[in-house]
Amino acid sequence: MKSAISSKGQVTVPLAIRKKLGLLPGTVVSFELVKGGALVKKGTRGVHPVDAAYGCLRLGRSTDSLIDEMRGPRPRRR
């Protein structure tokens, strides 16, 4: 099967290959240079380090109170 690269560097993966590999919109793929060409592999989205750490910090008080402590109290509204 063949496909052409667009002016934006995009390539269309043929439908038969997308179905066989379960490639849906947003599926991560990786590219690897091999002798004589390139290899495209279906990847895993994995967990981003920030997502893994999100919500694990327990401070015992609100974020607003921490920001007020760092910046000083907020100006009063008139």
Q: For 21-45, what is each residue's pLDDT tens digit? A: 889 998 888 899 999 999 988 877 6
Task: Report percent pLDDT > 90 for the chain.
Answer: 32
Helices (H) and strands (E) in the chain, counts: 3, 2
Tell whether 27 is covered by a domain: yes
Tell whether 6 is covered by a domain: no
Q: Which domain holds residue 33?
A: 15-71
Tell whether 63 is covered by a domain: yes
Tell whether 36 is covered by a domain: yes
| Mean residue pLDDT across the chain | 86
- Predicted pLDDT of residue 20: 92
Compute the distance between CA of residue 40 and CA of residue 50 in angstroms, rounded to an integer: 27
Sort residue 72 into left (φ over 0), alpha (ψ -120 to 50) or beta.
left
